[in-house]
Chain A
Amino acid sequence: DQQVKQNSPSLSVQEGRISILNCDYTNSMFDYFLWYKKYPAEGPTFLISISSIKDKNEDGRFTVFLNKSAKHLSLHIVPSQPGDSAVYFCAASDLGNAGKSTFGDGTTLTVKP
C-alpha cells in the first residue's frame, strides 16, 4: 500500500516553460509535505516544503500547491532551466508520529535547451 504516489515516472519540458510535477497521498494524517531533488550519484537535497495549514508556498522559481481535500500536491517550476533536470521526490510527514516521512518513487524531469 503506497501512501505517497507520483504517477508520472518522467516529464520532459522545454527550457523556459513551466514544469508541473504531481503527487498524491492517501494518509489523512500527513500534515507536512516536502519536495526533494536528486542528481545522479548524490543524495536528495531539500527543495521546498509546505504545511497542511497552507495551500501555497513559493520560493523563487519553485511553488508548491497543496489541495487537502483532493490529497494532492504539485510542484511548479517557472521558468524551467536545464539545470533543473533531476529526479524529484515528494515526501509526506506525520508530525504527530515523530515526523516519519514517506517518499514517493520520484519523477525524472528533463529540461531540454
Chain B
Amino acid sequence: EAGVAQSPRYKIIEKRQSVAFWCNPISGHATLYWYQQILGQGPKLLIQFQNNGVVDDSQLPKDRFSAERLKGVDSTLKIQPAKLEDSAVYLCASSLGSTGGDQETQYFGPGTRLLVL
C-alpha cells in the first residue's frame, strides 16, 4: 500500500513570495490533515478535511494560508505571501475517517521543509 505522498520535499523562497505544497493521501482515506511543525515543537494542525469539506481550520492563518481538496483526494496548501516565521516543515497526514477508535490513526507523509529567507 502506497503511503502519503508530498511534494516538493524542500523549498527555499524569499519573504513575500508565494509557495504551494501538494499532498496525495492513502487511497480510501477520507480525512486529510495539514500540519505545521516548527523546529523543536510538535505538529500543529492547520486544517482538517473530511472528503472535500473543511472540518477544522481554526488555526489556519487565513490572511495568507489557503488549502483545498477539490475532489476529496489530493490537496494543496498555499502560502501567499510568505513570512520569515513560516519556515517550518509542513506535514500532510491522512486517516480512514473521524468516527473514532482506530480510524483516528493518522499516516504522515515525509513533509515539505520550507525555508523563508
Known: A42-B110, A45-B108. A99 touches B42 (CB 8 A): no
Instruction: Give the number of A-B contacts (CB < 8 Å).
Output: 68
Tell me whether chain B's interface is mostly helix, strand or loop, or mixed: mixed
Q: Are A43 and B104 in contact, CB atoms less than 8 angstroms apart? A: no
- A25 proximal to B (CB < 8 A): no
In the bound complex, residues from chain B placing their C-beta under 8 Å from that of A89 are 42-43
Residues of B within 8 A of A93 (CB): 104
CA A45 – CA B4 in complex, angstroms?
Answer: 11
Interface residues on B, range: 20 to 34
B110 touches A101 (CB 8 A): no
Residue of chain A at shortest CB distance from B100: A95
Q: Which residues of A contact B (CB under 8 A)?
A: 4, 6, 32, 34, 36, 41-46, 49, 51, 89, 91, 93, 95, 98-106
Given pairs A43-B4, A95-B98, 10 additional interface contacts (CB within 8 A): A32-B101, A36-B108, A44-B91, A49-B102, A99-B98, A99-B100, A100-B45, A100-B48, A100-B56, A104-B42
